[in-house]
């Protein structure tokens, strides 16, 4: 790409940035927590439609995807589960095709009184846009669209197919991205503008969700000794699982050798008991764990079940009433970026032109939808995106200067990777 075009593209992103921030705030205002994404998806479909893209909006059906590699089992209804893809097709294909994928789903807000301002009333303060989902990842989702707009503003369109994907289910299964593969979407590269802190993700851990269901023996609390307290029985089981976490942190994969604590096992939900004056007869806790490339889902499940069984064996009641381990939600394999040299080269060049600094890669301690493209479709996929803070926490925010520069990178990437053609007037 010549210098003039590169400069023009950067200027075009900057010129549209106020509008981009407004659009990001508008999307962030739509509370697209799990099961509630459809309104935000309608909004995205309308945005794609306005830009002359072919809009594909469909309801995800579990039976269409459950046999595919990468599927994660679900315990909730998909009655309202819609994906949206905006498709640009060139007049004459000259360049390489591109998927720009982002997720519209956001995690729950938690107690509202812990937020300085309401999570779904986005506001800008000191160069940051605040709101649930602003960083993870509506900032990036809209950045992809704004990058497309910047090219358009100069009178161009990409000279290859560009698929703008707005998917659901990233925060719990990845089944939204999987449904895009099932629908047939393929491209020569995929970019996912998750909050990657002005860099790209070199590798991601595997992530698994499971539930442990523990039984007890209910009695009146007046003679509690005759009963078995299902809630308190969970404590040694949790401790045994944390021992496994310690072992995997000690025994770490070389890619995470400099990370202080890559593996995290978190008891994230717990429920149990029926009455304050009854020894609880049941308790169920949810755990999210992570693991390294090289560990299979099967071996991880074996290790988890082994730890649970071992802890139960030390308890007379549990030894005869073993806890049950149930899997739903993430069964996500680890992914190390591979076969992405060409994509990386173009992204690095684009990033350098936008930031005036080299592109840096990091291994992350979570998962992203990149694994679907990379592992199951042979599409080189890079997660690259802005600086964000406190996502999944309180006062989530995305840095606007970072978002602007990331958008420039994506626009430059589109021009370089796909090539450009003159837009019909």
The closest residue (CB) to Zn ion is 136
Residue with Cβ nearer Zn ion (137 or 420): 137
Instruction: Please give the C-alpha separations between residue 317 and each of 28, 136, 305, 314, 323, in angstroms, as whole numbers.
Output: 49, 44, 18, 9, 10
CB of 300 to Zn ion, least distance (A): 22
Contact 213, 324 (CB under 8 A): yes
Contact 321, 358 (CB under 8 A): no
Using the rule CB under 5 A, give the single segment among 131-139, 179-187, 248-256, 295-303 that binds Zn ion.
131-139
Using the rule CB under 5 A, give the single segment among 59-67, 108-116, 136-144, 283-291 that binds Zn ion.
136-144
- For residue 260, give every residue at least 6 positions away whose Cβ sits within 8 Å of its Cβ, in sequence order, or none: none
Residue with Cβ nearer Zn ion (174 or 216): 174
CB of 183 to Zn ion, least distance (A): 21
Structure tokens at 206: 């595997």
CB of 169 to Zn ion, least distance (A): 11
Residue with Cβ nearer Zn ion (137 or 364): 137
Site string for Zn ion, 173-212 (x = CB under 5 A): ---------------------x------------------
Looking at residues 11 to 50 of the shown chain, list those that interact with Zn ion (rule: CB under 5 A): none
Q: Does 136 bind Zn ion (CB under 5 A)?
A: yes
Residue with Cβ nearer Zn ion (136 or 333): 136
Q: Of the candidates 40, 137, 398, 418, which one interacts with Zn ion according to CB under 5 A?
A: 137
Q: Does 398 bind Zn ion (CB under 5 A)?
A: no
Using the rule CB under 5 A, give the single segment among 46-54, 67-75, 109-117, 128-136 that binds Zn ion.
128-136
Which pairs with CB-CB distance under 8 Å and at least 24 residues apart come from 337-340? 337/200, 337/201, 337/202, 337/203, 337/361, 337/370, 337/374, 337/380, 337/381, 337/382, 338/374, 338/380, 339/378, 339/380, 340/189, 340/374, 340/380, 340/381, 340/382
Residue with Cβ nearer Zn ion (218 or 329): 329
CB of 392 to Zn ion, least distance (A): 9
| Beta bridge pairs of residue 125 | 128
Structure tokens at 329: 């939600």
Residue with Cβ nearer Zn ion (370 or 415): 370
Q: Please tell me the distance from the alpha carbon of residue 302 to that of residue 400, in angstroms, as a whole number.
A: 44
Which pairs with CB-CB distance under 8 Å and at least 24 residues apart come from 10-14? 10/353, 10/354, 10/408, 10/411, 10/412, 12/150, 12/151, 12/153, 12/154, 12/411, 13/146, 13/147, 13/150, 13/404, 13/407, 13/408, 13/411, 14/404, 14/408
CB of 105 to Zn ion, least distance (A): 8
Instruction: Using CB under 5 A, count the residues that bind Zn ion.
Output: 3
Using the rule CB under 5 A, give the single segment among 36-44, 137-145, 209-217, 257-265 that binds Zn ion.
137-145
Q: Does 105 bind Zn ion (CB under 5 A)?
A: no
Residue with Cβ nearer Zn ion (119 or 272): 119
- N- to C-terminal Cα separation, the chain: 23
Residues near Zn ion (CB under 5 A) are 136-137, 194
């Amino acid at each position: 790409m010549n210098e003039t075009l590169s400069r023009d593209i950067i200027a075009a992103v900057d010129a549209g940035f106020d509008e981009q921030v407004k659009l990001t705030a508008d999307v962030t205002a739509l509370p697209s927590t799990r099961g509630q994404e459809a309104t935000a998806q309608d909004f995205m479909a309308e945005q794609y439609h306005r830009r002359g893209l072919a809009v594909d909006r469909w309801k995800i059906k579990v039976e269409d995807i459950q046999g595919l590699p990468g599927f994660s089992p679900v315990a909730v209804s998909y009655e309202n589960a819609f994906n949206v893809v905006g498709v640009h097709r060139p007049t004459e294909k000259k360049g390489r095709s591109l998927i720009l994928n982002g997720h519209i789903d956001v995690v729950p807000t938690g107690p509202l009184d812990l937020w300085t301002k309401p999570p779904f009333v986005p506001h800008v303060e000191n160069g940051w846009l605040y709101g649930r989902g602003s960083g993870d990842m509506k900032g990036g989702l809209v950045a992809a669209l704004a990058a497309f707009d910047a090219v358009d503003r100069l009178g161009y369109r990409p000279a290859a197919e560009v698929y703008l994907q707005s998917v659901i289910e990233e925060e719990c299964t990845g089944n939204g991205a999987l449904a895009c593969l099932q629908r047939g979407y393929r491209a020569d590269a995929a970019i996912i503008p998750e909050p990657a802190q002005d860099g790209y993700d070199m590798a991601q851990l595997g992530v698994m969700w499971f539930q442990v269901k523990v039984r007890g023996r209910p009695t009146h609390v007046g003679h509690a000794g005759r009963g078995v307290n299902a809630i308190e029985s969970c404590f040694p089981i949790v401790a045994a699982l944390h021992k496994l976490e310690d072992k995997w942190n000690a025994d770490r994969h070389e890619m995470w050798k400099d990370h202080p604590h890559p593996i995290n096992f978190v008891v994230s939900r717990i429920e149990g008991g029926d009455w304050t004056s009854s020894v609880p007869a049941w308790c169920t806790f949810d755990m999210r764990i992570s693991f390294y490339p090289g560990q299979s889902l099967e071996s991880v499940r074996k290790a988890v079940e082994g730890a649970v069984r071992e802890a139960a064996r030390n308890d007379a009641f549990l030894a005869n009433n073993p806890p049950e381990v149930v899997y739903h939600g993430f069964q996500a394999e680890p992914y190390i970026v591979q076969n992405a040299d060409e994509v990386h080269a173009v992204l690095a060049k684009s990033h350098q032109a936008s930031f005036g600094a080299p592109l840096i890669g990091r291994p992350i301690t979570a998962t992203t939808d990149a694994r679907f493209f990379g592992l199951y479709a042979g599409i080189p996929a890079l997660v690259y995106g802005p600086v964000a803070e406190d996502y999944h926490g309180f006062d989530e925010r995305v840095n606007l200067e970072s978002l602007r520069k990331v958008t420039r990178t994506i626009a430059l990437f589109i021009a370089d990777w796909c090539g450009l053609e003159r837009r019909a007037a």
